[in-house]
Amino acid sequence: MSGLNKQKIVESVPQKGFFGHPKGLFTLFFTEFWERFSYYGMRAILVFYMYYEVSEGGLGIDENLALSIMSIYGALVYMSGIIGGWMADRLFGTSKAVFYGGILIMLGHIALAVPGSVSMFFVSMVLIVLGTGLLKPNVSTVVGEMYSENDTRRDAAFSIFYMGINMGAFIAPLLVGSLMKYSFHLGFGLAAVGMFLGLVIFVATKKKNLGLAGTYVPNPLTGNEKKKFFIRVSIVVVVIAIILAVLIPAGMFTFNTFINLVGILGILIPTAYFFVMYRSPKTTPDERSRVIAYIPLFIAAVMFWAIQEQGATILANYADKRTQLEFAGITISPAWFQSLNPLFIILLAPVFAWLWVKLGDRQPSIPKKFSLGLFFAGLSFVVILLPSYIGGTDTLVSPLWLVLSYFIVVLGELCLSPVGLSATTKLAPQAFSAQTMSLWFLASAAAQAINAQLVKFYSPETEMMYFGAIGGLAMVLSLILFAISPKIQGLMKGIK
Ligand code: GLU
Ligand code: ASP
C-alpha cells in the first residue's frame, strides 16, 4: 500500500471515541469478541459432541479420532488464513473479507445447531474453516490500518484487541458449556447467535467508525488475471473432486490419509514460506539474516501452541474422564475448563505489561521470552502428570490440578503470544509484510497438524508417558533456545 493511501485511510478514521482510541477499535473489538465467542464456545463442546454416545446426544465417534479431528480442524482454521489474506489483498479488501467470513461462520454454527448427522458436521467444518480464514487475520489487519505508522497508541490498540479476543473466549465456554447438558445443538445455536451479533455490530457501525479502513484492495487482480484465476481454481477443484471420487470408494483415501495430508501441509507450507522469503531478490542481506533468526522462534512457537491447543483436546478429555466434577457442592461442566485459559490471560496480561515496562531495558530479549514461553508450556504438562504419579490412573483427580496446569501455560502464553505477532512483523522482509499475519498463524496451524498425530498416542494408561515426553521435550528445547538466544539476537540485526 502506498504512503499516500495509508495516510488517506488514517485521515478517514475518527481518531477518538473509544478509550482514547479510534471509534473503529470499538467495532473491531466487538466483531472479534463475538467471533471468538462463537469459535471457542463451539470448540468447548465439539469434542464431547463428537465422542459422546448417540444415546447421550453425541455422534459416537471413536475418542482418539475425535481428538485428531479437533486438531485437524484447528490446523485448517489457521491455515485458511493464507487464502483469506490473499483474497483481501487481491480481490475485495479486508472489510468485505470480514463480512463474508462472518456470514460463513454463522452458517457453519447453524449447520451444527440443526440436529443432523456426521455429514452435516463436515459441512459445518468447511464453512467455519473458510469463514475464519476470511475473518480472523483480516480483522486484525484493519486494527493496524487505523493508526499512522508512528502512532504510539498502536501497541496499546493490539493489547485492547487481545483482551476482546480473550473476553469472548472466556464467557463462551461458560454459557455454551452450560447448555450442553440440555442439548449440544442448543449450544451450537448460541454460538451462531454470537456470530450474528458480531455481524450486526460490524455492519451497523463500520461506515461511521472505520472510514476507508479495510476498503482498499492493495494489489487487485486485473480483469484478465481474474478470469485466468477463476478458470484455474475451477480446474483444480474439478480435478480434486475427480481424484477423491475415485479414491474414496476404492478405500484409498480414508480419514487417516486426510489427517496425514494436513500434517504434511502443516509443515510444508511454512517451510515454503521461509524458503521463498530467503531466496527472494526483494529480500536484503539484513532481512535474510532476520529470516534465519525467525526460524528457531517459529519452531518454539509451534511447540508452544502444540501444548496450549491440547488444552482444548487432551485436557478437555482429561476434564471429562479423569477429573472429579462434583466439587465444592457444585457440578462442574467439563466444558467450563476452557474458560480458564482466557480468564488467566485477562487477569495476568496487565501484570505482564507492567512487568515489561518496569524492567525496561533489562527485560528478556525476544528469543528469551520465547524460551520462557516454551518452558512454562512444558512445565504445565509435567504438572498434570503428577496426580497420576501420586494417586494412580484409576482414581479421579481434583479439578485444581487442571486449574494449575492452565495457569502455568498462560504464564508462557503471555511471554510468547503478544510478542509473537510483532516479532513476526519486524523480522519478515518488507516485501512480505502483507502476509505476516498469516505467517504467524501458520505456527498454530503447524502445531495442530502435529497434534493430530500426537493425540493418537494418548490414553489414560499412557497418560504419564504422554505428558512427560511432550512436556520434557518442550523444556529441553526451551533450554537450548535460551542458550542460543544471544546468537539469534545477533542475527536479528538490531531488531529488539
Ligand atoms: N488464542 C488466540 C486467538 O484466538 C491466539 C491465536 C493463535 O495464534 O493461535 O486469537
Ligand atoms: N488464549 C487464547 C487466545 O489468546 C484463547 C483460548 O485459548 O481460549 O485468545
Residue 345 CB less than 6 A away from ligand 2:
yes
pLDDT at 407 over 90: yes
Look up the CATH number of the domain holding residue 11. Answer: 1.20.1250.20
Distance CA 452, CA 461 (A): 19
Indicate the average pLDDT of the chain.
93
CA angle, 188 then 182 then 398, to 5°: 95
Return the ligand 2 atom nearest residue 169 CA: 8
Q: What is the pLDDT of residue 4?
A: 56
Between 13 and 6, name the one with better pLDDT.
13
Residue 165 CB less than 6 A away from ligand 2:
yes
Return the ligand 1 atom nearest residue 440 CA: 8
Task: Tell me the three state secondary structure of residue 18.
Answer: strand
Distance CA 374, CA 475 (A): 7
Q: What is the mean pLDDT of residues 451-467?
A: 92
Residue 444 CB less than 6 A away from ligand 1:
yes
Distance CA 69, CA 451 (A): 10
Is 75 within 8 Å of 448 (Cβ atoms)? yes
Ligand 1 centroid – CA 342 distance (Å): 10
Distance CA 99, CA 192 (A): 15
Establish if 456 belongs to a structural domain.
yes
> Which ligand is nearest to the Cα of residue 439, counting in written order?
1
Task: Tell me the three state secondary structure of residue 244.
Answer: helix
Distance CA 436, CA 49 (A): 35
Domain that holds residue 279: 3-219+251-491
Characterise 93 by phi-psi region: left (phi > 0), alpha (psi -120 to 50), beta (else).
Answer: left
Ligand 2 centroid – CA 441 distance (Å): 13
Return the ligand 1 atom nearest residue 136 CA: 10
Question: What digits encode the pLDDT tens for the residues 69-124?
Answer: 999 999 999 999 999 999 998 899 999 999 999 999 999 999 999 987 788 898 99
Q: Nearest C-alpha to atom 8 of ligand 1 is from which residue?
A: 441
- Nearest residue to 471 (alpha-carbon basis) of 413, 409, 418, 415: 409
- pLDDT grade for 220, boundaries at 50, 70 and 90: confident
Q: What is the pLDDT of residue 46?
A: 96
Establish if 126 belongs to a structural domain.
yes
Ligand 1 centroid – CA 305 distance (Å): 9
Residue 310 CB less than 6 A away from ligand 2:
no
Q: What is the pLDDT of residue 154?
A: 83
Q: What is the mean pLDDT of residues 120-145?
A: 93
Q: 331: which strand partners? A: 326
Which DSSP string corresponds to 306-367?
HHHHGGGTHHHHHHHHTB--EETTEEPPGGGGGGHHHHHHHHHHHHHHHHHHHHGGGSPPHH
Establish if 164 belongs to a structural domain.
yes
Q: What is the pLDDT of residue 484?
A: 97
Establish if 496 belongs to a structural domain.
no
Distance CA 374, CA 445 (A): 17
pLDDT at 3 over 80: no
Which of 29, 34, 38, 40 for mutating ligand 2's site (highest number of atoms within 8 Å of CB)? Answer: 40
Residue 40 CB less than 6 A away from ligand 2:
yes
Ligand 2 centroid – CA 407 distance (Å): 12
pLDDT at 453 over 80: yes
pLDDT at 347 over 90: yes
Return the ligand 1 atom nearest residue 441 CA: 8
- Nearest residue to 482 (alpha-carbon basis) of 340, 350, 367: 367
pLDDT at 149 over 80: no
Residue 441 CB less than 6 A away from ligand 1:
yes
pLDDT at 2 over 70: no
Establish if 238 belongs to a structural domain.
no
Radius of gyration of the chain (CA): 22
**Residue 302 grid cell:** 509451534
Establish if 366 belongs to a structural domain.
yes
Domain count across the chain:
1
Q: What is the pLDDT of residue 115?
A: 86
Distance CA 71, CA 48 (A): 14
Residue 48 CB less than 6 A away from ligand 2:
no
Return the ligand 1 atom nearest residue 39 CA: 4
Establish if 152 belongs to a structural domain.
yes
The amino acid sitting at 302 is V
- pLDDT grade for 435, boundaries at 50, 70 and 90: confident
Return the ligand 2 atom nearest residue 309 CA: 7
Is 179 within 8 Å of 190 (Cβ atoms)? yes
Establish if 167 belongs to a structural domain.
yes
> Which ligand is nearest to the Cα of residue 348, counting in written order?
2
Q: What is the pLDDT of residue 83?
A: 92
Is 121 within 8 Å of 129 (Cβ atoms)? no
425: exposed, middle or buried (C-beta count within 10 Å: 0-12, 13-18, 19+)? middle
Alpha carbon 306 to chain centroid, angstroms: 11
Which range is most confident: 226-230, 354-358, 429-433, 482-486? Answer: 482-486
**Residue 73 grid cell:** 480442524
Ligand 2 centroid – CA 413 distance (Å): 9
pLDDT at 142 over 80: yes
CA–CA distances in Å: residue 171 to residues 99, 308, 309, 389, 451: 23, 19, 18, 33, 26
